[in-house]
Structure 1
Amino acid sequence: MASDDPMRKTSLYVGDLHPEITEKDLAETFGQVGPLVSVHVCRDKFSRRSLGYAYVNFWFSFHGTFAYSALTSTARACLNHAKLRGKSMRIMWCQKDLLARQNSNANLFVKNLDKSITGARLEEIFSKYGTILSCKVAEENGISKGFGFVQFNSEVSAMAALSALHNTLLEGKTLEKAEPNFRSLYVNNLDESITEDLLKDKFSEHGNVSSAFVMKDKNGKSKGFGFVNFDSHEAAKKAMEALNGKLIGTKNLYVSRWRKKAERMGHFRHKCSDQCKGSKTSNLHVKNLDACVDDRTLQELFSGYGKVTSAKVIRNGDGVSKGFGFVHFSCPYEAQKALNSLNGAEVAGRTLRVALDRHRERRTNALQKPYTMLPELLSPYLAQHSCFFPNLNTTIPIEEPIPWHPTLDESSFTPFVSYNPYQAQNFGGAYPWPLATSDGRAVPSNSFNEIINGYVQNLQAF
């Protein structure tokens, strides 16, 4: 193996370091495990003071795995949670994906911990429920503050640990999973007539509002969303529970706690990927629409549940609504969320009927791969005539180009075999389809064309 192969390097993140720890200290500690490529303590670019974390790079992934679990060559003491200059180190694999690092859905905040619970003990307890990326107990001057954090590699593992350990006794104290403490709310699906003063007045019914904003474009027109900041977490939580989904003006509000962009994107990506496993369509079929509902109204109605890429009310030749339409979202998760919320909702005096538009999904798939479906549709005809159908996925390699009608030794062939052009080999890729040679007779050209044309017409009418 080439010793300078960069792909052989394994990098570890070492956090919660004492501010006086240097590269030399880390090199001496981790160097007992295996050969090091580099050790870097991250520092402030102006003051050059340590930021409390570092990166350690080993040769070969084996050394990185070994370093994660051993202090010396005897492998008896763990580096993770081991003390260096009086502080416990927190070691985890480097994660370059910012969204994965800040995925709050896989993080647990555990409070009411006994002072004797260390980071190593906390990780031992929670590791039964999944792979732990990071675990720590908050300390001050080496003394536990009574709470800690556990980060799993998936939300499923985090939920399993929460269900099993919430309100259980540990060292005489009841473990609790603390709720996020927030005071800022994100408000979406605002009516164009909603001003900042009106927004503030409405939310002030549930507590003291310090500020309220409605986001506007360069022309001063509302973008349909805004933010409300409260003085206390209790007031913000109360307002969120009371106003989420409530009709204000002509629209139902969507209210949630404000999240950082990385947290929002991580949550969205996780939910979207989960929904994509079960449903691959982002299209909704909406029925029982009132005649007054147009394309814009339909889009505004569904935009509170995600990004609507298109909304269309179907009309007859005179421009009169047929009472149904289609809405296309950017992600299956958004479509499913809108379906769950609006199916059965009353709009303009009518009860909506919302369903996934799977016809469009099947139609799109069929039109994208028309020829791959032909053998299945034509198989009865082909079996009856014992004839050949071209394999569209295979190209027959030949060494040299041969003329279209080569000179053949007729003694090696069965008499009365047809050699139509579409049955010939694809000599050097010169012809549009990669065909093969057949022993059977050809399909009569007129019958074959009729079948193909009929199939295409059926697809277009689907």
Structure 2
Amino acid sequence: MAAMLVSPPPPPQLLHPPPPSPGFELHKAALYVGDLDPEVSEVELVDVFSGMGPLVSVRLCRDSLSGKSLCYAYVNFFHPSDASKALACLNHTKLMGKPMRIMWSHRDPLPRKTGLANLFVKNLDPSINSASLQDIFCKFGNILSCKVAEENGKSKCFGFVQFDSDDSATAALNALNDTMLDGKKLFVSKFVKKCERKEASEETKFTNVYVKNLGEDLTEDIIRDKFSEFGKVGTVVIMKDGNGKSRGFGFVNFESPDEAKKAVEALNGAMLGSKKLFVGRAQKKAERQELLKHEKEMVNCNIGKEKASNLYVKNLDASVDDDKLQEHFSSCGQITSAKVMRHDSGLSKGFGFVCFSTSEEAQKALTTLNGTLLHGRSLYIAMAQRKEDRQRVLRDYYSQYLLQYYGPHFLSSGSSSPDYSFVPFPHPNPTPQINSPQPIICQQFGRNLGVMRPFAPQNYQQNFSTFVRKPSGFIL
């Protein structure tokens, strides 16, 4: 009996229009749109930006819990020339009463976290808006972002200008600082994060002293006698629980601030009974919360600095140790640590970390050494990321495409788990090459598909992809 010929299933239908002309660079056609009014939706953004050229997608970023707008969005054009025209024509124009701040989209967070080439400008005349400020500074170089701070639509008389290079920022600072503009002397300086600022303020005067780490056997009379050595004490209170037991802290109130200050300086860290005292100025709850907030900002600021100067290095040969890794990177700056990660058996895992003393040195190493050979193997280098950050980037990567090609209803349809039953399908035309400083990491999807699913490294941005659903009854 002759074998029956079974025709293969028809090719699945593509879910997006064909890509633009060859040579198109996707990451150069994406814009960041900030300072939006909370009432602005994707509809208004499409209406405004579609007049500049055909759009790939418009994504308004929202709070994951409340769904409220975060007041910024990303607009992706098919053609870089249209994106450039939108930036030139629409930057600082008003949408629903608020001027939009538009800039090229940058996935690399290094400039944002380190404040590179960012200037702080104050003592501006109230008539100076963001567009006027950009006109003043643009002669010194390419401006990434320019903004005059406002409150209720009125200028707060200061702003920020970020260039694409430190040389441009330095030139603008030297040329414009202490110059007159509309009758006012400009103050221009390098931008410093809030957590790094040292505010010069007068020393706070106080009479109430907070005392901690009190022993259970200490009484108010013992504490009064001890603190009376430094001045006249008004009241002494030891805080107690509902059973009348000491909670280990209390307050001592002096008659004069000088006496309270002397007591703090002399008794903080001193032994009273069997414990070492903590003695300091008593603070209100709101002040303590503000102090804790400031300390948290300092920690986050230091974490940001450390991350911005720490590099992840992959594809290491098994023979490369810590010393060889450090030697290879030493030409780019001062290295604080170089570590090759190893299994419990001592064998190399094929990757490691190199931490520089400054973020500029780390960026230099990333630019110059990525793809270079070390013991015959080409190195892959990227900014080091925490596991949580990598997972967040991956979630955002796929969420963007779901929103782009299936619409907001796909993720907000009430289903606790969206339908992810689709696979990447190669476009019949060659995919345009993306000029990215980092290679694309892929994993095989499916058993015999031979199809690779891309993962997005930190500074890789692809503005469209081709997804198809699995054809009904088609067995893989």
TM-score range, shorter chain: 0.3 to 0.5
State the TM-score, normalizing by the size of structure 1.
Answer: 0.41
State the TM-score, normalizing by the size of structure 2.
Answer: 0.40
Larger radius of gyration: 1
Greater per-residue helix proportion: 1
